[in-house]
Amino acid sequence: MPLDQEEAEDSAQFPHERNMSFFDHVDELRRHVMRAFAFISVGFVLAFIYIKEIVGGVIFAPFKGNFVTYQIMCKMGKNLFGDERMCITPPVIQIQNLQLQGQFVAAFKIAFIAGLVLAFPFIVWELWKFIRPALSDKEVRKTRGTVFFVGMLFFIGVLFSYFILVPISVNFFANFSISDEVQNIVTMQNAVNYVSFLCLATGLVFELPVLMYVLARVGIVTASFLRKNRRYAVVIIFIVAAVATPSPDMLSQLILALPLYSLYEVGILIAARSEKKEEQAS
């Protein structure tokens, strides 16, 4: 194909991109980043207004015996076994603040994380709008719905961590003891960091199928390659589960690793479907 004809086709596909310089791209990225930050700021303000409700009803809820997960597990145990073997009641944990400015800093951090979680779909949307002009109409049609699935997987991961991983690991740590003379007194900063880090990390890790789809679309991996290297994937998944789960017990790591492996298999199916569509189109 002649060079001028190729450039003409590129201009027809990406007219917006062809007329933009490097600094135009930087300025466009800045506008998307500012809009994303505006969404985070709105979430931050809302969370800061209701900070006491968020702290008492969300952050510290898994440390209480009446947390919804404990109640559901207890009811399941009674229905399945007729006894209370699945009833979990974590011991009472004292949560203390050891710094004068500690509660204000914690409130600021919690509000920012809450704003980040609430604004996550909008952040992905702004990123998508920045990338979209570089895609052809065919590529845009193929990636339709990506923002929805990215946001959905993120929130599923956050909820899975909050209602499953957090209470199980909290119960494990609260009941683990090296001596009866040692009393568990948890700092507020530690409790906030533990719950928020675990939920955010799990939400991001649940984006695995999207990552696999993107890698398959650009030709870096194939469905056959992913199937052939399942055993290596299992090792990597357990390493990721160990890093994302602060709890050292195998139970909580296994609880995170199983859905991650399921997502890996879903990613293989998505990659295979993408390859099949490419073959039919060619």
Cα radius of gyration rounded to whole Å, the chain: 23
Percent of the chain with pLDDT strictly greater than 90? 22
**What average pLDDT score do residues 133-158 get?**
81
> Is 35 in a helix, a strand, or coil?
helix
Give 155-214 pLDDT, tens digit per residue.
999 999 999 888 888 887 887 778 888 888 888 988 998 899 889 988 988 888 888 887
Annotate 252-280 with b (16+ C-beta within 10 A) or e (fewer): bbebbbebbbebbeebbebbbebbeeeee
Residue bearing tokens 């699935």: 149
SS3 state of residue 92 = coil
The CA distance from 34 to 41, in Å, is 10
pLDDT at 40: 94
Closest CA relative to residue 157, chosen from 198, 96, 218, 106: 198
What is the CA angle 245-248-252, rounded to 5?
Answer: 55
73, 155 in Cβ contact below 8 A? Answer: no
Is the model more confident about 141 or about 262? Answer: 262
pLDDT value at residue 50: 94
Q: Give the span between the Cα atoms of 6 and 137, in whole angstroms.
A: 17
Considering the entire predicted model, what is its pTM?
Answer: 0.79
Q: How many CB atoms neighbour CB 188 within 10 A?
A: 19
- pLDDT tens-place string over residues 12-50: 444 445 566 766 777 888 898 999 999 999 999 999 999
pLDDT over 70 at 71, yes or no: yes
Among 159-168, 212-221, 239-248, name the one with the lowest average pLDDT. 239-248
Query: Residue 185's beta-bridge partner residues?
Result: 94
**49: helix, coil or strand?**
helix
Is pLDDT above 80 for 108? yes
Which residue ranges make up each domain of the chain?
16-204, 207-282
- Specify the residue for token string 């990390």: 201
Query: Is residue 6 pLDDT above 70, yes or no?
Result: no
Q: At which residue do the structure tokens 């039919």 appear?
A: 280
Contact 200, 113 (CB under 8 A): yes
| Per-residue confidence (pLDDT) for residue 252, from 0 to 100 | 66
Q: What percent of the chain has pLDDT over 70?
A: 87
Residue 243 burial (C-beta neighbours within 10 Å; 0-12, 13-18, 19+): exposed
pLDDT value at residue 105? 92
